[in-house]
Amino acid sequence: MSRQRIRDIRHDELIDATIKAVHKHGYAAVTMTEIAREAGATAASINYYFGSKERLLGATMQHLLSLLRAAVLRRVAMAATPHERLMALLEANFDDSVYTTEQCSLWVQFWGSAPYVKSLARLHNINRQRVTSNFRAELRALLPEDRRETVREALQSYMDGVWLEATHSSQPLDAAAARDEARRVAQLLLDSEV
């Protein structure tokens, strides 16, 4: 019980410290010592809990993925129509729990490293396929066939592009404004009279 609890506490603390440390020093450059310092622990104890640096980083990215998935589920659950569900998918990316400087920073570095780290590649593919099929499902009810894929690709690229931009902006992020903007972009793409 209590034994299990301390393990979970360390697990969460270390993942949290990893997010902070990677944001601060970069995915490539961050060291075990820096992560440990952020958590008030030592590099040796990270290995006690996670076994290796690679597994710690994998668990951290998995954590970010689960935050995103949770935001999607929360928002989709409240949506009644295909249109609302599409907006829910889009806005989940800019949920307060997801659209933060630190997380966007990690995502971009994750994208860069995924092709070279097997465990990350797996996570990345699973996520991308899930998002794609969600979008396809909702767009089927909203657009004629000849436009669906164009709009889907545009929306998914848009989401990624905004996260990318977020990592290079100096001001703090405004998640609500990002959601408004995303809705506006979706409206333009859906209601076009071409």
State the residues that interact with DNA by CB under 7 A: 1-3, 6-7, 10, 29-33, 41-45, 47-49, 51-54
Quick one: what does residue 188 bind among a copy of itself, DNA, none, with the CB cut-off 5 to 8 Å set by partner type?
Answer: a copy of itself
Closest CA to 103 of 48, 27, 10, 32: 27
81 near a copy of itself, judged by CB under 8 A:
no
**What secondary structure letter does DSSP report for 188?**
H
Asked if residue 160 binds a copy of itself (CB under 8 A), the reply is yes
* Residue 123 sits in the site that holds a copy of itself (CB under 8 A): no
Q: Does 86 bind a copy of itself (CB under 8 A)?
A: no
| CA-closest candidate to residue 26, choices 57, 59, 62, 49 | 57
167 binds a copy of itself (CB under 8 A): yes
Question: Which listed range, 57-65, 68-76, 89-97, 150-158, lies at the site for a copy of itself (CB under 8 A)?
Answer: 150-158
Q: How big is the chain, counted in residues? A: 194
Q: How far is the CB of 18 from a copy of itself (least distance, A)?
A: 16
Say how far apart CA 165 and CA 39 lie, in whole Å: 28
d(CA 158, CA 161): 5
Q: CA-to-CA distance for 39 and 21, rounded, in angstroms?
A: 9
Cβ-contact 126, 117 below 8 angstroms:
no
Q: Which two tokens stand for residue 74?
A: 């929360």
Question: Rule CB under 8 A: is residue 185 a binding residue for a copy of itself?
Answer: yes
User: Which residues of this protein are in contact with a copy of itself, per CB under 8 A?
Assistant: 25-29, 105, 108-109, 111-116, 124-125, 128, 147, 150-151, 153-154, 156-162, 164-165, 167-168, 181, 184-185, 187-189, 191-194
